[in-house]
Structure 1
């Protein structure tokens, strides 16, 4: 009996000994390729570099000419073509759009988003996009979005940062911006300000649940589907946290929809928010839930993440910060006042440069309907998953030049000082082709309002020794946040 009781532990010890031995020998070779082991494929090298996955994939693609076929364990169905080649992007997202849908695997991995626009393909996607595009292009909504952004920046963001500056405290600026964009997005979707950006930094269960969900979904992409499905069936690990997050999100959205219905029924609200507009045409509870979750994810996480990286890069590049500040002061004029009506080309360029280096969504995924040959020469067939690495694309000399790793907003400006257009298949921060992000202008409005409000009066200093690195998630947030000291500007700063 004693031997039998010890046998499972002995078996596990032997398993982990050989597993970690494989990890040590399964790393990248000097050529940038990965060892394709019998049975387990290339998974050991990915597992041993998971803590730095974005930069690891960048190194691999840099060595392999922008495209690489990753093979997982035998019989796992894990066959992934990784690419950051703009020609491949244009082929898939524009020229042959119909042949490369999101696909079943994508919607299964992102099941928490339901049948919303991010998961939808075909006719469902076309109808949802048509409706969303019509609503978001209305002058009433655009005016509402601009007003919400300006007022939130002026009445909540700036007073909070002033107070932190006066108290001499440090603050996680990423958390601040995620709260800011959560409040704005919630207002745009539900017509109400949840006031998460308050001095007491109240806990936001919905926001925490979304973070947990996106973290779990990222790990679904780096392991065989059968593994995470088994975890889901057994309610273990990250799948357990995802299920818990799902319940929190559903409860939160259900209550918010109920409140909006009640307010609309009582005649409150003029229909400026998106949910009120959807309620006029759709009564299906699941559709409203899925739509609300998709809109909240799109608005809150991506814009808040971009703002955090923007201020981090300004801290590291004071010359660029000085040019942004000079432009803001020049646009404001001698009598002061708002700058929202100004074009602010250098600020726009600096935001684009931020998202080139740190795109809010670091990769895009596509499936294959019919076999085709990509411009890079690879033959793709049904069953192959295509992953487009937008984080990596911004770090490729062949795409952006020898200074691709530098933060240089000037690359986005013409000799006349106008904003330079770059094709979306080269700059994919807002996706590309027919699925280009509908909220692009709203996002720029929010970011410019926040930047203008803060930079004219305050400057940030990253806390000495604080490590800033990408978080392993679907949205490119900072793993440790962005701890800063907030300082008042004087006239010479």
Structure 2
């Protein structure tokens, strides 16, 4: 008698089958009642033809990314669907894609606890570990609690530090109109300022190639760029990420980054021990520091190490903040100056606004009062949101307020295990929100524009970016100082002034920011 003919085996298989059928039936009935309770309607808009693996949509996305037109392809998809919410899949994983402000508000705020970061955690972990950008639940809450006090200080905007690095930045910008790529310089500038803010020691990457490269700093600067680029590759390859090109190079870059940051972590832990020992001897804070600096000198890592001495946790949080501190501001500046180079009249208007400074560096209060500078930053962040698309994974059955029904106006059921992708790039360019010129760089629109969830350059809800004021202050400061230094600027873009996407972890100009600048 065959093994499968055994009555015991057949009974067991029957019980398992009945159990599965029973659970499926219970799930179906529960979800049917849930949909009825919330008035959900099905979404008839599905963007893929392959019914098994949705391979056509995946191939299309990979090809568009290779051609540096993924943002344009995403826009074409929404236009083809005729609504701002649709269904698709990534291999076998169900996705809902949306550019509806109310849906984004629901995911990021109203039903925040219904979602997690999903597979992003695994993808980002080698570099970011369990830091604030790569954790959920209690772990994320603890990270935010740890970091928040360090972003609630006036010392956060260290304008003196910015000014030191501005001097180095200016050395790399020809004053006679010779072509220069500002975006490359902005990424060096923000790395230098971010490392000084975090570690009280700058990489000084703007000195590379001028006074001789510092080996450790040079290796770290290169490794950090390689490691962040590899994260995007892993995300695109998904379950097949181990087969991606450059895997070994990416892993080595992560090790280099960790080793570099751990040096400062170890120094900070030692600093705390020595400080506590000196305090135990009854010495004052300034004496306890024993560094020649006053105790009111703000150093991020010193503030952090006073809250925890967990070496891995300190490293992870610092790398997370460094990633945001460098990439966010540099991308904003690169895209902003790409647009300003196309509009000489706007450049002249901005120079007139900051002329009140008479060439002096702005104070924090003066910086906040330059409305046109602020409008320009808002407009750059609108057209080119630093994170143009993001995702959340539904960890329980939930609902989006829009996307269901023929007209897309009914609530939409989101089963547990579904990824919701939200698209600020598309949402920020909706003509029904921003007008028929939504694709144009027009800072004056911000004179009367009032936005809520239609504009999320720094995300929103409980996970809204802690460092947004730092980024805006730094970007504003750099803009003002360059306005003061250069009378005019010309675009030297190789694509005739037509912006091309450069998509890594942030959105920058794919061809750089090639300009000629002329000093007064």
Q: Give TM-score, length-normalised by structure 1.
A: 0.82
1:299 corresponds to: 325
For the structure 1 residues 430 and 486, does the alpha-carbon distance in structure 2 shift closer, same or farther, using more than 3 Å as the test? same
2:163 corresponds to: 150
CA drift at 1:408: 0.9
Please give the per-residue CA displacement for 1:51-97, whole angstroms capped at 9, x wherever unaligned: 22121112212332112222233xxx432222111111111112111
- Counterpart selection for 1:67 from 81, 85, 99: 85
- Counterpart selection for 2:251 from 243, 249, 262: 243
For the structure 1 residues 367 and 72, does the alpha-carbon distance in structure 2 shift closer, same or farther, using more than 3 Å as the test? closer
State the secondary structure of the residue aligned to 2:437: coil
For the structure 1 residues 350 and 300, does the alpha-carbon distance in structure 2 shift closer, same or farther, using more than 3 Å as the test? same
For the structure 1 residues 211 and 477, does the alpha-carbon distance in structure 2 shift closer, same or farther, using more than 3 Å as the test? farther
CA drift at 1:296: 0.4
Assess if the C-alpha contact under 8 Å between 1:49 and 1:56 holds in 2. yes
CA drift at 1:182: 0.8
State the secondary structure of the residue aligned to 1:339: coil
Please give the per-residue CA displacement for 1:159-204, whole angstroms capped at 9, x wherever unaligned: 432xx225x6432211111111111111110012221123736573
State the secondary structure of the residue aligned to 1:135: helix
2:407 corresponds to: none
- Counterpart selection for 1:178 from 187, 207, 222: 187
- Counterpart selection for 2:261 from 253, 264, 279: 253
Assess if the C-alpha contact under 8 Å between 1:158 and 1:453 holds in 2. no
2:504 corresponds to: 473
Please give the root-mean-square deviation of Cα atoms over the aligned residues, in Å. Answer: 2.4
1:387 and 1:434 map into 2 onto residues whose CA distance is: 18
2:372 corresponds to: 346
2:227 corresponds to: 213
1:99 and 1:49 map into 2 onto residues whose CA distance is: 31
For the structure 1 residues 37 and 320, does the alpha-carbon distance in structure 2 shift closer, same or farther, using more than 3 Å as the test? farther
1:374 and 2:409 matched: no
Q: How many residues align?
A: 434
1:450 corresponds to: 478
Please give the per-residue CA displacement for 1:123-143, whole angstroms capped at 9, x wherever unaligned: 22222212222121123x335
1:46 corresponds to: 61
1:169 and 1:311 map into 2 onto residues whose CA distance is: 16
1:485 and 2:509 matched: no
Please give the per-residue CA displacement for 1:23-48, whole angstroms capped at 9, x wherever unaligned: xxxxxxxx994433554533222233
1:256 and 1:324 map into 2 onto residues whose CA distance is: 40
For the structure 1 residues 336 and 465, does the alpha-carbon distance in structure 2 shift closer, same or farther, using more than 3 Å as the test? closer
2:226 and 2:490 map into 1 onto residues whose CA distance is: 29
Assess if the C-alpha contact under 8 Å between 2:179 and 2:516 holds in 1. yes
Assess if the C-alpha contact under 8 Å between 2:223 and 2:256 holds in 1. yes
Assess if the C-alpha contact under 8 Å between 1:160 and 1:198 holds in 2. no
Task: Single out whichever of 180-189 and 392-401 deviates more from structure 2.
Answer: 392-401
CA drift at 1:116: 0.3
- Counterpart selection for 2:107 from 92, 109, 134: 92
For the structure 1 residues 67 and 218, does the alpha-carbon distance in structure 2 shift closer, same or farther, using more than 3 Å as the test? farther
2:73 corresponds to: 56
For the structure 1 residues 366 and 32, does the alpha-carbon distance in structure 2 shift closer, same or farther, using more than 3 Å as the test? closer
